[in-house]
Amino acid sequence: MQEPHPFSLYVAALGRGRTRSRPLTHAEAEDAMGMILRREVEPEQLGAFLMLLRVKEETPEEIAGFTKAAKALFELPDPLPAVDLDWGSYAGKRRQLPWYLLAALALVQSGVRLFMHGTEGHTPGRLYTRETLELLGLPVATSLQEAADRINASGFAYLPLEYLSPKLHEIIEMRPLFGLRSPVHTISRMLNPFGARATLQGIFHPGYMDTHQHAAKLLGEQHMAVFRGEGGEVECRPNKPFEVRTLHDGEFASEQWPRILDHHHQVIDKEMDADRLKAVWHGDEQDEYATAAITGTLAVAMKLMGRAGTIEDALRMGGALWQARDRDQLKLAS
């Protein structure tokens, strides 16, 4: 008789039925993801595992274990670069341009050392960070070492997931095959490979905020904020009030942020012309929605990093940072 595959224990734990199935422990999740990332799992097992998790929905313990396994396999540079803010970008935009990139660049120009990581192409019809940075003439790193060098030189780096964790990237690319997201969409946002003091995460489904918050605590994150961003990215939706869940030194909190714009109707950009990002940055085009999205996103970052004490102060600071940007050149700090 053939011996059971070691990974079958984890598939069975999730799939024994309504009364006997159970979530994985932190240690089991770490071991299971380690096997996946080392390519010790059969394709059929991986598909079953991912979809059982999707139906059940992941626990914070599982997400923390998965993330820990992924972090253990990083080939990190020595020394690590000093990073103020880790920023995940995994959703892409389809209703509005990625205004969050202008917020990120304004932060960098103000002296914030920012590492951004993400992926692209898994959902058709969306504009992703990598292609947008290339359109803006800004570099994209291809390794953690290159990302570290760019942070040390300019204060900013973007690294696609395919270079950060090739196997996690492969799993995200399976979305068209399954028609569903996988836990990797949550795991990837939480990787923080350089150990930044603060991590900023945008999600689409607000029900996942609690999972992000508790998993971040299990991972030992110092300061984390997660909110429902426009399209699932780290971008304020200025026409609606929104909740920001935070973790500060082990303490959970919830912040209720006000609507920034007076009107609350949905704003949709049908053309999605990325050249408008340059026009808004240079001040050649005035866009009320874009400005509010940018300054609101800046405000959330300032509040998370402890550079503003209240939401009102953070919003004022976000506006001031945007006004202080170098409009002449869309460039990084030097």
Same domain, 37 and 99: no
The answer to whether position 67 is within a domain reads no
Q: What is the pLDDT of residue 54?
A: 92
Answer yes or no: do 186 and 235 share one domain.
yes
How many structural domains comprise the chain? 2
241 within a domain of the structure (yes/no): yes
pLDDT at 331 (0 to 100): 67
The answer to whether the CB of 95 falls within 8 A of the CB of 60 is no
Q: Is the pTM of this model over 0.85?
A: yes
Look up residue 63 and give its two tokens: 């997400």
Residue 281 and residue 327: Cα distance in Å, rounded? Answer: 6
21 & 157 share domain? no
One domain for residues 108 and 52: no
Same domain? 188 vs 280: yes
Give the Å distances, CA to CA, from 112 to 62, 104, 300, 320.
32, 9, 14, 15
**pLDDT attached to residue 232:** 95
What is the structure's pLDDT at 334?
44
Range of the domain at 26: 8-56
Same domain membership, residue 35 and residue 94? no
Residue 166 lies in a domain: yes
What percentage of the chain carries pLDDT values higher than 70?
98
Domain match, 26 and 149 both: no
pLDDT score, position 1? 60
Based on the fold, state whether residues 24 and 160 are members of the same structural domain. no
Going across the sheet that includes 156-160, the strands are: 156-160, 114-118, 85-89, 198-203, 223-228, 242-248, 251-257
* Same structural domain, 24 and 151: no
Residue 275, pLDDT score: 94
The CATH number of residue 111's host domain is 3.40.1030.10
Does residue 218 sit in the same domain as residue 308? Answer: yes
**33, 164: one domain:** no
With a cut of 50, list the residues of the chain below it in pLDDT: 333-334
